[in-house]
Structure 1
Amino acid sequence: MGVWLVVAGLAVHIVFFYSIFDIYFTSPLVHGMTPHSVPLKPPAKRLLLFVADGLRADKFFELEEDGSSRAPFLRTIIEQRGAWGVSHTRVPTESRPGHVALIAGFYEDVSAVAKGWKENPVEFDSLFNESRYTWSWGSPDILPMFSKGASGDHVFIDMYPSESEDFAGSDTSKLDTWVFDRVKDFLSEGRKNVTLGNMLHQDKLVFFLHLLGIDTNGHSHKPYSKEYLDNIRIVDSGIRELTSLIEEFYEHDGRTAYIMSADHGMTDWGSHGASHPSETLTPLVAWGAGVRGPNMGEDIQEKQAFRDTFSQDWDLSHISRKDVEQADITSLMAALIGTSFPVNSVGVLPLDYINASDEFKAHAIFTNTQQILAQLTIKMAEKQETTLSWLFRPYKALPVDNQIQFVKSIQRKIHGKEYREAIEDSRELIKLALDGLEYYHGYDRLFLGASIAMGYLGWITYILTIIIQDYTNIVATSKIAQSQATYLRSEEGIRTIFAILGAIVAFLLYVQSLPWTHYIYCLLPIMLWNEALLKINVISQVKESIEGVGNLMMIIFKVFVAVAGLEIIVLTFFYRELLTLGLVAMAIWPIMTSLRSSNKMVVVFWSVSCLSVAVFPMLPVVGRDTDYRLVSLAGWTILALGLYAFRQLSKNAFYSPIRSNKLHVLFFSQLVTLGVAILILNSTSSSIASKQGLPLLNQGLSWLILVLSVLQPLLGSTHMVPRLLSLGVSLSAPYILLSMSHEALFYLSLCCLLYAWLLVEYSNTSHTIKANELDFSKGSVLGEPTRNLHTADLRVAYFFVFFILTAFFGTGNIASINSFDPVSVYCFLTIFNPFIMGALMLWKIVILFILVTCTFSAIHVILNVPTKSLFMVVLLMSDFMALHFFFLVRDSGSWLEIGTSISHYVIVMTMIIFLMLLLGIAKVFTTFQFTCTSRRKSHFQ
Structure 2
Amino acid sequence: MGIPVFILAGLLVHCVFLVSIFEIYFSSPLVHGMTPQQTPLPPPAKRLVLFVADGLRADSLYELNSNNTPQAPYLRGILENNGSWGISHTRVPTESRPGHVALIAGFYEDVSAVAKGWKENPVEFDSVFNESKYTWSWGSPDILPMFAKGATGDHVYTFCYTAESEDFGAQDAAELDMWVFDHVKSFFNSSRSNQTLFSALNEEKVVLFLHLLGIDTNGHAHRPNSREYKENIKKVDEGVKEIASMIDNFYGNDGKTAFILTSDHGMTDWGSHGAGHPSETLTPLIVWGAGVNYPQKVTSQFFEDNFLKEWKLENLKRLDVNQADIAPLMASLIGVPFPLNSVGTLPLEYLNNSAHFKAESMFTNAVQILEQFKVTKHMVKKGISLNNSCCYVPLSDSEQINFLKKARLYIQQQKYDEAVSLCKTLINLALEGLSYYHTYDRLFLGLSIAVSFVGWTAYVILVIIKTHTNLTKTIQESTVLFYSFAFVGMIIAFFLLIQTCPWTYYVYCLLPVPVWYAVVRELPLIQDLAANLLSLRIGQSMGFLLVCALGIEILVFSFFYRSTLTIGLLVFAGWPVITQLWVQAKTTALIWTLLCVLLAIFPLMPVVGREPNIPLVIATGLLTLLISCFSLTSLCNSKNKYRNNEDLKVHFYQMLSVALSTYVVSSTHDSLKNKQGLPVLNQIISWMTLVSSSVLPLLSPTFLFQRLFSILLSLMSIYLLLSTGYEALFPLVLSGLMFVWISMEQEALQHYGLSLKPKLAVFNFSYATDITQFRQLHLDDVRRAFFFVFFIVTAFFGTGNIASVNSFDPASVYCFLTVFSPFMMGGLLVLKVVIPFVLVSCAFEAVQVTTQLSSKRYSKCCFCISKHFFFLVKDYGSWLDIGTRYKLKYSEGCLFQGIFLLCKSAFFSHFFYLSSPCSISHYVLVMSLTIFMMLMNGLAQLLTTQRLELPRRTKHHFT
Q: Secondary structure at the match of 1:397?
A: helix
Q: Distance in 2 between matches of 1:245 and 1:695?
A: 41
Give the match for residue 315 of structure 1: 312
Q: Distance in 2 between matches of 1:751 and 1:852?
A: 8
Which of 855, 871, 890 matches 2:843? 855
1:582-731 correspondence to structure 2 within 5 Å: 582-653=568-639, 655-658=640-643, 661-731=645-715
Question: TM-score, normalised to structure 2's length?
Answer: 0.94
How far the C-alpha of 1:875 sits from its partner, in A, is 0.7
Q: Distance in 1 between matches of 2:772 and 2:402?
A: 82
Q: Distance in 1 between matches of 2:686 and 2:757?
A: 43
Does structure 1 conserve the Cα–Cα contact (< 8 Å) formed by 2:873 and 2:918? no
1:107-186 correspondence to structure 2 within 5 Å: 107-120=108-121, 123-186=124-187
Change (3 A) 1:619 1:406: same
Q: Secondary structure at the match of 2:949?
A: coil
**AA paired with 2:869?**
M
Q: Secondary structure at the match of 1:12?
A: helix
Q: Secondary structure at the match of 2:171?
A: coil
1:386-785 correspondence to structure 2 within 5 Å: 386-390=383-387, 393-473=390-470, 475=471, 479-481=472-474, 484=475, 487-488=476-477, 491-546=478-533, 548=535, 550=537, 552-653=538-639, 655-658=640-643, 661-766=645-750, 767-780=756-769, 785=773
Give the match for residue 301 of structure 1: 299
Which of 767, 788, 811 matches 2:799? 811
Does structure 2 conserve the Cα–Cα contact (< 8 Å) formed by 1:38 and 1:338? yes
**AA paired with 1:346?**
V
Which of 311, 323, 326 matches 2:323? 326
Change (3 A) 1:315 1:897: farther
Q: Distance in 2 between matches of 1:561 and 1:399?
A: 53
Q: Distance in 2 between matches of 1:497 and 1:657?
A: 65
Q: Distance in 1 between matches of 2:423 and 2:562?
A: 46
Give the match for residue 916 of structure 1: 934
How far the C-alpha of 1:881 sits from its partner, in A, is 1.9
How far the C-alpha of 1:389 sits from its partner, in A, is 4.2
Give the match for residue 947 of structure 2: 929
Does structure 2 conserve the Cα–Cα contact (< 8 Å) formed by 1:273 and 1:279? yes
Q: Distance in 2 between matches of 1:334 and 1:644?
A: 70
Give the match for residue 194 of structure 1: 195
Q: Distance in 2 between matches of 1:631 and 1:534?
A: 56
Which of 910, 921, 935 matches 1:903? 921
Give the match for residue 812 of structure 2: 824
Q: Secondary structure at the match of 1:286?
A: strand
Q: What CA RMSD, in Å, does the superposition of the two structures yield over aligned residues?
A: 1.7
**AA paired with 2:826?**
G
1:75-94 correspondence to structure 2 within 5 Å: 75-94=76-95
Change (3 A) 1:884 1:305: closer
Change (3 A) 1:213 1:293: same
Q: Secondary structure at the match of 1:480?
A: coil
1:857-884 Cα distance to aligned partner (Å, 9 max, x none): 1111111011100000001111122233
1:402-440 Cα distance to aligned partner (Å, 9 max, x none): 011100111111112111111111111111111111111
Q: Structure 1 unaligned runs (5+)?
A: 935-941
Give the match for residue 938 of structure 1: none
Does structure 1 conserve the Cα–Cα contact (< 8 Å) formed by 2:64 and 2:71? yes
Change (3 A) 1:392 1:909: farther
Does structure 1 conserve the Cα–Cα contact (< 8 Å) formed by 2:325 and 2:346? yes
Change (3 A) 1:890 1:63: closer
Q: Secondary structure at the match of 2:151?
A: coil
Does structure 1 conserve the Cα–Cα contact (< 8 Å) formed by 2:592 and 2:740? yes
Q: Distance in 2 between matches of 1:386 and 1:619?
A: 52
Q: Distance in 1 between matches of 2:635 and 2:690?
A: 26
Give the match for residue 837 of structure 1: 825
Does structure 2 conserve the Cα–Cα contact (< 8 Å) formed by 1:264 and 1:282? yes
Q: Secondary structure at the match of 1:621?
A: coil
**AA paired with 1:401?**
S
| Number of residue pairs aligned between Structure 1 and Structure 2 | 915
Does structure 2 conserve the Cα–Cα contact (< 8 Å) formed by 1:24 and 1:891? no
1:211-257 Cα distance to aligned partner (Å, 9 max, x none): 00000010011001111011111001000011000000000011000
Q: Secondary structure at the match of 1:792?
A: helix
Which of 860, 863, 872 matches 1:884? 872
Change (3 A) 1:600 1:375: same
**AA paired with 1:523?**
L
Does structure 1 conserve the Cα–Cα contact (< 8 Å) formed by 2:117 and 2:823? no
Q: Distance in 2 between matches of 1:547 and 1:21?
A: 42
Give the match for residue 937 of structure 1: none
1:126-175 Cα distance to aligned partner (Å, 9 max, x none): 01000010000000010011011310000000000001000011100000
Give the match for residue 25 of structure 2: 24
**AA paired with 2:717?**
A
**AA paired with 2:447?**
A
Give the match for residue 343 of structure 2: 346
Q: Distance in 1 between matches of 2:663 and 2:881?
A: 46
How far the C-alpha of 1:783 sits from its partner, in A, is 7.1
1:581-619 Cα distance to aligned partner (Å, 9 max, x none): 000000011112232111111101111111110001111
Q: Secondary structure at the match of 2:666?
A: helix
Q: Secondary structure at the match of 2:779?
A: coil
Does structure 1 conserve the Cα–Cα contact (< 8 Å) formed by 2:91 and 2:881? no
Q: Distance in 2 between matches of 1:384 and 1:860?
A: 55
**AA paired with 2:643?**
I
Change (3 A) 1:855 1:356: same
How far the C-alpha of 1:890 sits from its partner, in A, is 6.8
Q: Secondary structure at the match of 2:677?
A: coil
**AA paired with 2:526?**
I
Change (3 A) 1:783 1:351: closer
1:274-323 Cα distance to aligned partner (Å, 9 max, x none): 11100000000000000011112xxx133x32232233211111111110
How far the C-alpha of 1:555 sits from its partner, in A, is 2.1
Q: Structure 2 unaligned runs (5+)?
A: 751-755, 886-916, 953-959
- Bigger drift between 441-450 and 733-742 goes to 441-450
**AA paired with 2:223?**
K
- Bigger drift between 702-711 and 533-542 goes to 533-542
Give the match for residue 939 of structure 1: none
